[in-house]
Amino acid sequence: GIKTKANEAIYTFVAVDEMGSPMPVPKILPESELEKERFEAALRRKQLSLVLAGKMAPKEATELKAIFE
């Protein structure tokens, strides 16, 4: 049959130690233009999610504000 894109998903992975507790990982450094665009879009999505959940004040969402400036 014909293949049609039906949806797109974003996964969040968390590194855990032997006890199952979250642990720090090295920061991601986007290199290509596509990686940079996706990285910036992810920051905006994260800020939007935090604002909507009441965990971040809208005035602190610098990446979101940049869209409207």
Which range of residues forms the domain containing residue 63?
33-68
Query: Residue length, the chain?
Result: 69
Average pLDDT of the residues of the chain: 92
CA distance readout (Å), 51 to 11, 41, 48, 54, 61: 20, 15, 5, 5, 8
Question: From CA 48, how far away is CA 61, in angstroms rounded?
Answer: 8
**Range ranked top by mean pLDDT from 6-10, 11-15, 28-32:** 28-32
Is residue 62 a part of any domain in this protein? yes
Helices H, strands E: what count in the chain? 2, 0
Whether residue 69 has pLDDT greater than 80: no
Is residue 26 a part of any domain in this protein? no
Handedness of CA 19, 50, 28, 39 (dihedral sign): positive
**Number of domains within the chain:** 1
